[in-house]
A and B are shown apart, each in its own frame.
Chain A
Amino acid sequence: SQQGEEDPQALSIQEGENATMNCSYKTSINNLQWYRQNSGRGLVHLILIRSNEREKHSGRLRVTLDTSKKSSSLLITASRAADTASYFCADYGNNRLAFGKGNQVVVIP
């Protein structure tokens, strides 16, 4: 079964607001990664959080990891129109990265 499965959703917010999206997974993880994909493009790596970490920040991004609940969240603060994209979480298992369904985020200027 696929690890790193977000609740598939489309999120539409106003510029300046925060965007939160969640990811759940089914088995033990080595690390969990979040990626952004602009329409018709490849994926851009945003942040990697290891299984022994609980929270990580990178600029306007904050990722949390709760291994007891097998879940992760990605928070984008003070969103911008350029943050409009699909966001995927993915987990390393068996030497491969397994992606969830993705969250479509639209930031309205």
Chain B
Amino acid sequence: GAVVSQHPSWVICKSGTSVKIECRSLDFQATTMFWYRQFPKQSLMLMATSNEGSKATYEQGVEKDKFLINHASLTLSTLTVTSAHPEDSSFYICSARAETANQPQHFGDGTRLSIL
């Protein structure tokens, strides 16, 4: 089946550090990639949607300057949490989808981000 690889799986870093998370679709071309944030025992909250070669579309309340998204190719999207603070600590999950809306989304294994 379709595989999405997300790296790193966990990060612990000091406040003020910028952290980059990579999301790769390994065996299909991801026209659209999605970034989610999940708090413990809660559902996934969509942060932004990115299409290859275009600027990401951010959900209301998500700071685009804080969470930089780059979708430079059909197999790679990156999320950079800039100047991270403890309140940015969370579980970040990427997802990728091939062309049409009736295709399932495939998810990475998530990145646990802890800011000290």
Contacts and interface: CB of A to CB of B under 8 A. Distances in A.
Asked whether A and B interact, the reply is yes
Interface of A: 30-31, 33, 35, 40-45, 48, 50, 88, 92, 95-102
Nearest to A2: B43
Contacts of B32: 95
A33 B104 contact: yes
Contact of B93 (A31, A33, A42, A102): A42
A83 to B, nearest CB: 18
Interface in B17-45: 32, 34, 42-44
Contacts of B42: 101
5 contacts: A35-B107, A41-B110, A92-B102, A95-B49, A97-B105
B109 A41 contact: yes
Across the A-B interface, the 6 shortest Cβ-Cβ residue pairs: A42-B107, A43-B107, A42-B109, A45-B104, A99-B43, A99-B44
Interface of B is mostly: strand
Interface of A is mostly: strand
A97 B34 contact: yes
Contacts of B44: 43, 88, 99
B46 interface: yes
How many B residues touch the partner, as a band? 20 to 34
A72 B106 CA distance: 21
Interface in B78-104: 91, 93, 95, 101-102, 104
Given A101-B42, A101-B43, 16 more contacts: A31-B102, A33-B105, A40-B91, A41-B110, A42-B93, A42-B108, A43-B93, A43-B107, A44-B107, A48-B104, A92-B102, A96-B49, A97-B105, A99-B43, A99-B44, A100-B43
Nearest to A88: B43
A98 B46 CA distance: 8
Contacts of B93: 42-43
Contacts of B77: none
A92 B101 contact: yes
Contacts of A99: 43-44
